[in-house]
Amino acid sequence: MKKIAAIFLWILLSSTTFNSYAQKRTELLIQANTATLERKFDKAIDLYGQYIALNPNDFRGYFNRGTTAFNAIKYPLAIADFTKTIDLNPIFMEAYYFRGQAFFHTKNYDKAIADFTQGLEKKPNNPAFLKLRAESYAAKDKNDAALTDLNTAIHYEKLSGDLYKRRAELKVKLNDIDGGIKDYSAVEKLIPTYKMVHFIKGKLYLELNEIAFACDSFEEALKHNIVVADQLYAKYCTQP
């Protein structure tokens, strides 16, 4: 009877210890998440570190600390944590997504491209991965590859003004002025708050010597208080 009581007491104590351990983990996560939301990144990184010490095989701890480090612009720590996340969970695409961006910000463009390509192998034609890979290609002056990715991204997300804006910038870089104007016209419709687009279009029309269209764009820019358009408007559009 005493032996049974002893076993029961051991089970009870073990259960209490386990519950206390689980409660500690939960509290650390809540505190770390709260600190992140409050942008107290150093505190959050420390709390996630404590959580990881208790749960070294839980990929979520590394991922959460990685995203916090990323937001704190601590890219080496972010890369290390995302790499550990991938080691523990190779199919967790969000880790490739953020690690690729961290590589991009540290100018490791080849590694960024590799991560975004890995993401596209799991999520073919995903516009987010395509956009980021296009930026990485463009940073390496692989502009044709960047344009291919943006074309594909826009095919699958036709209402993204940001994608059209990025493609317009790339087309201008490739000296496709007509194509740039066309994409910036899409930006006008899709991002009505982006008023600078009128000034940009005006300058592009000037490159084509389309003075009337340039003046229309500069006039529209001035209506939206884009004061940098004033000088060009005065020069090209107020002649007697």
pLDDT in tens, 105-155: 999 999 999 999 999 999 899 999 999 999 999 999 999 999 999 999 999
Higher pLDDT, 211 or 8: 211
Mean per-residue pLDDT, 178-197 = 97
Mean per-residue pLDDT, 215-237 = 95
Per-residue confidence (pLDDT) for residue 8, from 0 to 100: 40
Mean per-residue pLDDT, 151-173 = 97
Token pair in block for residue 18: 């386990």
**3.40.50.1860, 1.10.3720.10, 1.25.40.10, 1.10.4160.10: CATH of 158-240:** 1.25.40.10
Mean per-residue pLDDT, 44-64 = 92
Domain ranges of the chain: 19-90, 107-153, 158-240
Does 6 score more than 90 pLDDT? no
Question: In the chain, what's the furthest Cα-to-Cα distance?
Answer: 111
Does 16 score more than 70 pLDDT? no
Q: Quick one: fold of 19-90?
A: 1.25.40
Assess whether the region 19-90 and the region 158-240 belong to the same CATH fold: yes
pLDDT in tens, 195-222: 999 999 999 999 999 999 999 999 999 9
